[in-house]
Amino acid sequence: MTPTAPYEQEIRAAAAHVGRRRFLTVTGAAAALAFTTNLPAAGAAQAAEADARKLTENPFTLGVASGDPQPGSVVLWTRLAPRPYEGGGGMPDARVPVRWEVAYDEKFTRLAGRGRADAHPEFNHSVHIEPTGLAPDRVYYYRFRAGSWISPVGRTRTAPARGAHLSRLKLAAVSCQAYHDGYFTAYRHLAEEDLDVVFHLGDYLYEYPVDAAGGARRYTDRTLPDRFHRETVTLEDYRLRYALYKSDPDLQAAHAAHPFIVTWDDHEVENNYASDISEDDLPPAEFLIRRAAAYRAYWENQPLRRPQRPHGPDARLYRRLHYGQLAQFDILDTRQYRSDQAYGDGWHAPGPESDDPRRTLTGATQERWLIDGWRQSTARWNVLPQQVAFSERRNATGPGYQVSMDAWDGYPASRARVLAGAESAGVDNLVVLTGDVHVHYAFDIKKDFADPASRTAGVEFVTTSIASGKDGADKPANWGTYMAANPHLKFYNGRRGYVTVTLDRDTARGDYRTVSAVTTPGAPVRTAASFVTEAGDPGLKPA
């Protein structure tokens, strides 16, 4: 499709960035720009419109979702895919009109808003609605219509007004949902929790092949197509993988129950990539084409606003959301701008390469944005939803210990700058939310991790995986070593599940929720441990 005037500036910016990202070949540059220029024109007046009345199969197989709440608005999402496991989802190569409704009640007797949007083939027939004029801190219900088909009903909630004095806020943190490692049972329980919002901290999908039996799910009543039994590389690969994941009924239930605020980690593209450097050291031009495909599919399948839409291989995912005077959320992206992992990645003893002060996990621009935002914050709690373990994790006691080069331990100067920035900004109540590691951790964040008596700068709630790592264990094999080697580590559990965090004016409470198994469906949920930290006196104590 020929780009039109509204996108010319976008295209020029992408072209300039191609040079910065070392797209050195004409082929690579052209391929990357295709992800920016192949956009529907303003109004899409010249694009063919399909007759939605001719949709003979349910197009809402992937459910609905909402996200990024603001006081007067929230993103509403769906994607039309009557045959989700086929390329294009079984939709015509034409735009399809979709009607949406927002209501005060689940039966839609009192509407708060309605409208029409077009589901474009260029965006895989996804729609992102941003209704305005909603009341702050209020529950709403929403649904979509395409032809004679009506979507499932979703429940969402707007954010409180910026100056509101909240008495309480309850959130959940989730991450790491490898389809092939088991069922998303934890999401079914999450859907039943009384929550204001859910933070997804990365690894929404995995690029690894999924066999015909669904891996550890061991399907006997169905067979997955061969197209899933390969690693995701192309745009169609990633789109189909999202269709597989989003067809899961437990994931759909969680999205329909709560608004999500999402950020990515590595597996949405490729394991442990760093900026334009791939795990397998592909030429940057080749890898950034893959990254562009992955980023585009991510945006198509998440309830994200227009500013988060990718431009070629780049997308600004870090952003700031406010929940009244109680909490400021600074959502990070620790993949797109990071320095390459030191010592070839993996676990390694700290040394000159990892300690290099020039190394960064966030990139300089995002780091300044974070610290400047803290300086302007008036919130009681400053919450940092991000991807990889922030606190130090030694794998042995005494000399010779190693730490993860992929986590903040591999970027200690970057972590020190962030903690110094929090201190200089007067951030007294810092809460870090983390995913990635497939276990539950509870950490005190120390100003100097080498000195257990040093000042506690905040606390870190690390959520285990939804399914990644299969069933896990309450006490992994290295439990005793980790607890002895890291005195700031207050809790360690290796089951699957999620964390809920309840904030009020005086305390932040973390409840570690676990399920007994994910390789079989329907496991019950329990609270494995609970901790609180007091406002003005950081440090975790058993609840």
Look up the CATH number of the domain holding residue 174: 3.60.21.70
Of 136, 500, 160, the C-alpha closest to 322 is: 160
- 145 phi, psi to nearest 5 deg: -130, 140
Written as six digits, the tokens of 279 are: 């795990």
Same domain, 33 and 79: no
- Strand locations in 227-367, DSSP E? 260-262, 319-323, 327-331, 347-348
d(CA 295, CA 335): 12
The verdict on 230 and 96 lying in the same domain is no
Say if 303 falls within a structural domain: no
Q: Which of 114, 133, 157 is the endpoint of a domain?
A: 157
Q: Write out pLDDT tens, residues 198-257.
A: 999 999 999 999 999 999 999 999 999 999 999 999 999 999 999 999 999 999 999 999
334 and 431 in a single domain? The answer is yes
Distance of CA 272 to the CA centre of its chain: 16
Task: Report yes or no on 505 lying in a domain.
Answer: yes
- Pairing of β 319-323 and β 154-157: unpaired
Please determine, for residue 91, whether its predicted confidence score (pLDDT) is greater than 50.
yes
22-38: pLDDT as tens digits: 333 334 444 554 454 45
Tokens of 109: 């007797």
Q: What is the C-alpha to C-alpha distance for residues 439 and 294, in angstroms, rounded to an integer?
A: 26
Burial 507-522, CB ≥16 within 10 A → b, else e? bbbbbbbbbbbbbeee
Amino acid at 60: F
Report how far residue 17's alpha carbon sits from residue 116's, in angstroms, rounded to the nearest whole number: 34
Contacts of 107 (CB under 8 A, 6+ apart): none
Number of residues written out for the chain = 543
CA distances from 405 to 116, 150, 243 (A): 48, 48, 32
Residues 59 and 94 in one domain: yes
Task: For tokens 């309480």, name the residue.
Answer: 168
Judge whether 333 lies within some domain. yes
Candidates 178, 297, 278; CA nearest to 236 is 297
Asked if residue 133 and residue 226 are part of one domain, the reply reads no
Torsion of CA 452, 453, 458, 460, to 10 degrees: 20
430-434 sheet: strands from edge to edge: 319-323, 327-331, 381-385, 430-434, 456-462, 440-446, 489-493
Give the chain's domain count. Answer: 3
Q: What pTM was computed for the model?
A: 0.93
Pair 38, 56 in one domain: no
Q: In terms of domains, do 196 and 336 share one?
A: yes
pLDDT band of residue 39 (cuts 50, 70, 90) is low
Please tell me the distance from the alpha carbon of residue 192 to that of residue 180, in angstroms, as a whole number. Answer: 24
Residues 40 and 57 in one domain: no
Residue 249 and residue 385 in one domain: yes
Q: Which pair of tokens denotes residue 323?
A: 């929940």
User: How confident is the model over 468-478, as pLDDT tens digits?
Assistant: 999 999 999 99
Tokens standing for residue 328: 């400021």
- 139, 200: one domain: no
pLDDT tens digits, 136-151: 999 999 999 999 999 9
Q: 119: domain range?
A: 52-157
Answer yes or no: do 150 and 175 share one domain.
Answer: no
Is the pLDDT score of 4 beyond 50? Answer: no
